[in-house]
Chain A
Amino acid sequence: MGKEMKYIRGYPEYMRESIALVEKTREKRAGKLPPQMTMDGREEVLNLCHPDYAPGGKRAISIGPNEGDIAPNEVVDLLEAWSLIGMDELDLDNIDYDTDILIIGGGLAGTSAALLADDSGVATDRILLTNKLRHGDANSIMAQGGTQAADRPNDSPIIHYIDTLGGGHFTNKPDVVKALVEDAPKVIKWLSELGAIFDRDEGGNFTELSGGGAARKRMHACEDYTGLEELRVLRDEFRNRKIPFLEYSPVIELLTDGDRVTGAVLFNLETGEYKIVRAKAVILATGGLGRLHVRGFPTTNHYGASADGLVIAYRAGAKLRDMDSMQYHPTGAAYPQQIIGLLLTEKLRTSGAQVINGKGEAFVFPLEPRDVEASAIIRECYIRDNGITTPTGMRGVWLDTPLIEIVKGEGYAQSAFPAMVRMFKRFGIDMTEDPVLIFPTLHYQNGGVETDPWGRTNLKGLWVAGEISGGVHGKNRLMGNSTLDCVVFGRRAGTSTAEYINSGEPAGKMTLEHVKRYNKMLKGARIKTDRKSPMILPDYRGKMALARMIDVF
């Protein structure tokens, strides 16, 4: 691209030509949607284009409790890797923090767990929450669309239950789903009573919207800052109660007595020191793995979403499930370069935005299940070749956002989607006037560490809650069920660990026996690698700078 490109209201001239085609068909399309795909049509496009189903990119895990299970290469690479710590490197006898309950990760799940443990009679100073970065640098804070709870008169927990199972292709754990949907209204009430402000209508009732795969409107939102509002309220409450916490202190390994989880090793990101925590119960709430960039996709996830919890739990012997299934969100930003992969909430589509190809045609029903919608967009761009290529070589299709105000009335986009409008405005684009370019992006880890309705795992002393857990969503999560899952099972894990502590469970011996055992398995399986895990943070340093870095100090 030798010539200086001309930009008009944020878009290069050649993209404007395609926008003109979108504008031409807009009025005719308003209020009219293309037909939903047939079951066969869905299957065809999934097998052709979905990163989970399309050939390549994954392999069987060769050691550990899930030996033989299929997972993406990026995940298996971290599982089939050595510990960051050498066996004789640590002094485990000098305990830096002695606590009853150690909570790892302060998103919605971890923070809820801390509050409920505190409510349930565990001494406040016997709880410790540790964070990789700051408390709140998490996927939770970015949730835009909303949180599901079946509380309207025409809805019921039963309907929510069936939606969730159907959405998960009936692979979910039924008893865990029951807990999810039954606690949902309670969670919304709890958050409201703590002062969280959910959108209301004039009569004071919650404004609730639909979501892909949900048969009723049950999405509770706070504009498009739902996660921000939920988490900042919980975090404020957490701080009021003076629950001990650490920041910039990721956990890099669990400690066990061989079987039972008894503590953890922390790493001080600022100084490079390790710290030893002794705990009678450990709750892992470390969230997801978008920063592994599975199959080379960009991601919506925060900087620290790197599967750490999953990896160290597996090394300690925890069972995983459904790790073959990732969620790709159909509408990630594809342009401009500064925001590639960032999320454009599904709520834009439930509010009227349509998905349009480069010729101005609506080629897919906008509210197919996420996996189907994402696959159809990939097909349109790479097989049917009806996408638009950006100056940096990305392909994408349009999300026709100006339709929102045609459907919902003028001013609606600004009031319902301030975060989205603001983001595009920062890069020179007015999404209320112009469509925005989208392409699927890695969004969510559907599976994880297997849990029961109380967050318990197959390991004594170890609980999990939130995105790290597996079972509740089966192989596909519905919009709005994840923030819900975090608060529901965070709370349950908090209560359950408190019960365990209150029953007088003594502290256990702290060793790295499980790591030794794991190392043996690695050798036994003849895995030759110098990979180490967990990853802690991704590395986006420029190639030119990296090539000249030396380690002298």
Chain B
Amino acid sequence: MEEKSVLEKIAEANRPVTTGIDGRGIENWVTIYIMGRAYKVPADLTIMQAMEFAGYRFIRSCGCRAGFCGACATIYRKEGDYKLKGVLACQTRVEDGMYLVQIPFAPAEKATYDIDKESYNGAALLKYYPEIARCVSCNTCTKACPQDLKVMEYINAAVRGDFETVVEESFDCIQCGLCAIRCPAEIVHYNLAQLARRMYGKYGLVEEKNVKKRVEEIEGGKYEKEFKKVMGLSPDELKEVYVDQQKTREVY
């Protein structure tokens, strides 16, 4: 038999990830419950991979598969445990005895506003999301967050009109909705935070001078002549310019 090429070897090593797992040769298994039904699945998989192994082909509750989009919000409870936990299916390893349900999105209100017409103060946050004033400080949202954000803190900061804290504490929010479906005050934390961040980005920061100047220069036609010149260069001349330019490289 001919020896396998490098690329064939790579394809073979990746087959479980690229085509689905065949289950042979796997030593460690766990049992999970999807829609109440028990499935035996390999222990080294994420919840998402395990559901696929069990025979599911996702048409919802699956997006980036990498922890960035919030599509795979999943709640589960373990056998014998009273706690209901919220996680991202693509970023959580299966555990024995998980009872799972997925929530492709949380039905939620989003305020409609014209960002150009808002005045930059906390009143705007309360105007669009008055329910934040009803927070009972139970901290459920914080415990529900799969990104480990201090959700209650940013809600409290929003009530105070402290934009900076909202931005800081909510920046890594992937808008999965797990906080909102648990909140007794029915607050939609992630939409509120989105409004606060946009207001801060627009009004709370100084105008960046370099970009403003460069846009003016480009619109004023400053680079036209030079563009004409470089676009007229022969392939060899262009290569030379490129090689010289790479020598002036800024690294760290």
CB distance from B213 to the nearest CB of A (A): 8
Residues in B whose Cβ lies below 8 Å from that of A88: none
The CA-CA distance from A422 to B171 in the complex, in Å, is 14
Residue of B nearest to A351 (CB): B252
Residue A123, interface by CB 8 Å: no
Residues in B whose Cβ lies below 8 Å from that of A57: 7
The CA-CA distance from A393 to B209 in the complex, in Å, is 52
Contact with A along B234-252 (1 / 0, CB 8 A): 0100110111011011111
CB distance from A239 to the nearest CB of B (A): 6
Q: Are A156 and B115 in contact (CB under 8 A)?
A: no
Residue B68, interface by CB 8 Å: yes
Contact with A along B190-215 (1 / 0, CB 8 A): 00001101111110011011111111
Contacting A228 at CB < 8 Å: which of B60, B68, B210? B68
Contacting A162 at CB < 8 Å: which of B113, B195, B202, B241? B241
Q: Are A204 and B62 in contact (CB under 8 A)?
A: no
Contact with B along A137-154 (1 / 0, CB 8 A): 110011000000111110
Residues in B whose Cβ lies below 8 Å from that of A340: 14, 17
Residues in A whose Cβ lies below 8 Å from that of B67: 419, 422-423, 426
Known: A293-B18, A382-B10, A539-B20. A269 touches B59 (CB 8 A): yes
Q: Which of B16, B205, B212 has the most CB of A within 10 A?
A: B16
Residue A552, interface by CB 8 Å: no
Q: Which residues in chain A, 294-318, are within 8 Å of chain B measured between CB atoms?
A: 295-298, 300, 302-304
Residue B112, interface by CB 8 Å: yes
Q: Which residues in chain B, 87-107, are within 8 Å of chain A measured between CB atoms?
A: 91-93, 104-105
Q: Are B211 and A188 in contact (CB under 8 A)?
A: yes
The CA-CA distance from A303 to B59 in the complex, in Å, is 10
Residue A531, interface by CB 8 Å: no
Q: Are B6 and A383 in contact (CB under 8 A)?
A: yes
Contacting A54 at CB < 8 Å: which of B7, B53, B195? B7
Q: Are B64 and A142 in contact (CB under 8 A)?
A: yes
Residues in A whose Cβ lies below 8 Å from that of B230: 158, 161-162
Residues in B whose Cβ lies below 8 Å from that of A186: 215, 218
Contacting A137 at CB < 8 Å: which of B64, B148, B171? B64
Secondary structure class of chain A's binding surface, majority of residues: loop
Residue A223, interface by CB 8 Å: yes
The segment from A256-264, A463-471, A540-548 found at the interface with B is A540-548
CB distance from B211 to the nearest CB of A (A): 4
The CA-CA distance from A233 to B7 in the complex, in Å, is 41
The CA-CA distance from A436 to B93 in the complex, in Å, is 18
Residue of A nearest to B10 (CB): A296
Q: Are A156 and B147 in contact (CB under 8 A)?
A: no
Q: Are A156 and B68 in contact (CB under 8 A)?
A: no
Q: Are A150 and B214 in contact (CB under 8 A)?
A: yes
Residue B45, interface by CB 8 Å: yes
Residue A37, interface by CB 8 Å: no
Residue of A nearest to B223 (CB): A157
Residues in A whose Cβ lies below 8 Å from that of B79: none
The segment from B21-29, B154-162, B181-189 found at the interface with A is B21-29
Q: Are B112 and A378 in contact (CB under 8 A)?
A: no
Q: Are B252 and A352 in contact (CB under 8 A)?
A: yes
The CA-CA distance from A295 to B15 in the complex, in Å, is 11
Residue B11, interface by CB 8 Å: yes
Q: Are A543 and B23 in contact (CB under 8 A)?
A: yes
Residue B49, interface by CB 8 Å: yes
Residues in A whose Cβ lies below 8 Å from that of B12: 296
Residues in A whose Cβ lies below 8 Å from that of B78: none
Q: Which residues in chain A, 503-553, are within 8 Å of chain B measured between CB atoms?
A: 537, 539-546, 549
Q: Which of A200, A242, A293, A395 has the most CB of B within 10 A?
A: A293
The CA-CA distance from A302 to B64 in the complex, in Å, is 4
Residue A210, interface by CB 8 Å: yes
The segment from A77-85, A163-171, A477-485 found at the interface with B is A163-171
Q: Are B22 and A542 in contact (CB under 8 A)?
A: yes
Chain B interface size band reads: 35 or more
Q: Are A541 and B63 in contact (CB under 8 A)?
A: no
Residue A59, interface by CB 8 Å: no
Residue of B nearest to A156 (CB): B223
The segment from A21-29, A95-103, A190-198 found at the interface with B is A190-198
Contacting B202 at CB < 8 Å: which of A157, A195, A228, A341? A195
Residue B175, interface by CB 8 Å: yes
The CA-CA distance from A295 to B71 in the complex, in Å, is 28
Residue A358, interface by CB 8 Å: no
The CA-CA distance from A1 to B238 in the complex, in Å, is 56
Residues in B whose Cβ lies below 8 Å from that of A488: none
Contacting B235 at CB < 8 Å: which of A133, A170, A545? A170
Known: A338-B46, A342-B66. A134 touches B104 (CB 8 A): yes
Q: Are A134 and B63 in contact (CB under 8 A)?
A: yes
CB distance from B168 to the nearest CB of A (A): 10
CB distance from A325 to the nearest CB of B (A): 16
Residues in A whose Cβ lies below 8 Å from that of B44: 336-338, 392
The CA-CA distance from A549 to B249 in the complex, in Å, is 57
Residues in B whose Cβ lies below 8 Å from that of A407: 252
Q: Are A210 and B53 in contact (CB under 8 A)?
A: no
Q: Are A300 and B66 in contact (CB under 8 A)?
A: yes
Residues in B whose Cβ lies below 8 Å from that of A237: 115
CB distance from A175 to the nearest CB of B (A): 8
Residue A273, interface by CB 8 Å: no
Residue of A nearest to B219 (CB): A186
Residues in A whose Cβ lies below 8 Å from that of B53: 541-542, 545
Residues in B whose Cβ lies below 8 Å from that of A193: 202
Q: List 26 A-B contacts (CB under 8 A).
A: A51-B7, A56-B7, A133-B71, A136-B63, A136-B69, A156-B226, A159-B245, A162-B245, A166-B246, A182-B223, A189-B211, A197-B200, A200-B205, A205-B210, A210-B249, A210-B251, A214-B249, A225-B172, A236-B195, A248-B60, A293-B19, A296-B7, A298-B14, A341-B17, A342-B66, A539-B57
- The 3 A-B residue pairs with the shortest CB-CB distance, nearest first, are A296-B11, A195-B198, A137-B63
**Besides the contacts A296-B14, A422-B147, A542-B54, what 13 more A-B pairs have beta carbons closer than 8 Å?**
A57-B7, A162-B241, A163-B245, A204-B209, A216-B250, A233-B198, A269-B60, A293-B18, A378-B10, A427-B93, A540-B57, A542-B23, A543-B20
User: Which residues of B come within 8 Å of A, CB atoms?
Assistant: 5-23, 27, 44-46, 49, 52-60, 62-69, 71, 91-93, 104-105, 110, 112-115, 147-148, 167, 171-172, 174-175, 194-195, 197-202, 205-206, 208-215, 218, 223, 226-227, 230-231, 235, 238-239, 241-243, 245-246, 248-252
